[in-house]
Amino acid sequence: MLTLGWLILNYWFPEINASGVPSMTMRLGIHIAIALGLWLALERTDLVFRQRMTVWLALIVPFTLWLAVIWNAAIFAVFRPAPGDGLPPLPLAIFVPVIVGTPLLLLSKRVGQVLDAMPASWLIALQVYRVFGGVFLVGWLRGLVFGPFALPAGIGDVATGLMALPVAYLLATGTDKANRAGVLWNIFGLVDFAVAITMGTITAPGSLQLIVPNIPSIAAGAYPTVLIPAFAVPSSILLHVLSLRQLSRRRAAG
């Protein structure tokens, strides 16, 4: 009901989202939650304070700088798609952090220690924020976003966010099928991104465009909506990667 109410509010009062205040509040809230959750997880490890602080800073500082760079680029309309032969900047903002971050998060022994100490429910429950991807559905309803992109992207995000807390609850209660539910949830979330990124890329002006939509594809490149694909998507993909690694380690540990 809260999700539906939020979508209706954005539909009837589009100036709320256009102001950037909800996006700023959400992004900062998620950032603080990740920073706090990481520190709480580090406190569960056997690392001494200096080691915990080193690991925390090594992860949070680049994460914060990444957000600052993307936010600044979004404000200055760097991600607005434009006709031409150049490579659209938005796919680069999505894939480069994932390509760089995935091997680092999968191979780091320190990260493995943190994942072993952290409850498996945390990383999944955190992504309840995915319900805010429903902003694409609002854009579609208002005739601002191309339906073949907005519908799978918005519905997939909202579904992933709504399922996050029930799956996290299963993991917290330790039921027999909880680990499998966590894996399936992560796969669903990643497939949602694969579909949304593909549709967004092939419908946006640029060298990768294959479909010319009847609605100019500029909404996804405009601030503040662009923060979703430019930052929230790659950071969420990395959270999925971490969650899958954590669930795999727990299953291997027996």
Query: What is the DSSP secondary-structure string of 97-112?
Result: HHHHHHHHHHH-HHHH
Q: Quick one: which of 106, 119, 188 has its CA closest to 155?
A: 188
Tens digits of residue pLDDT in 18-50: 666 777 888 999 999 999 999 999 999 999 999
pLDDT at 218 over 60: no
pLDDT score recorded for residue 87? 72
At 90-149, the pLDDT tens digits run 889 999 999 999 999 999 999 999 999 999 999 999 999 999 998 889 888 888 888 888
State the average pLDDT over residues 37-66: 96
Work out the percent of the chain whose per-residue pLDDT is above 70. Answer: 90
The C-alpha atoms of residue 225 and residue 239 are separated, in whole angstroms, by 20
Q: What pLDDT is attached to residue 139?
A: 85
- Name the pLDDT band for 86 (thresholds 50, 70, 90): low
Under DSSP, the state recorded for 68 is: H
Task: Select the more confidently predicted residue: 254 or 45.
Answer: 45
pLDDT at 246: 97
- Quick check: 203 and 153 in contact, CB under 8 A? no
pLDDT digits (tens, 9 = 90+) for 178-211: 999 999 999 999 999 999 999 888 887 777 778 7
pLDDT attached to residue 252? 87
Average pLDDT value for residue range 243-253: 93
Residue 250 has pLDDT above 80, yes or no: yes
What does the pLDDT average to over 74-86? 76
For residue 16, the model assigns a pLDDT of 66
Dist. CA 50–CA 41, nearest whole Å:
15
Mean pLDDT of 67-72: 95
Count of other CB atoms within 10 angstroms of residue 13:
11
Question: Pick from 20, 18, 240: which is nearest to 130 by CA?
Answer: 240
Q: How high is the pLDDT of residue 220?
A: 58
pLDDT given for residue 1 in this prediction: 63
Q: What is the pLDDT of residue 211?
A: 78
Average pLDDT score over the chain: 88
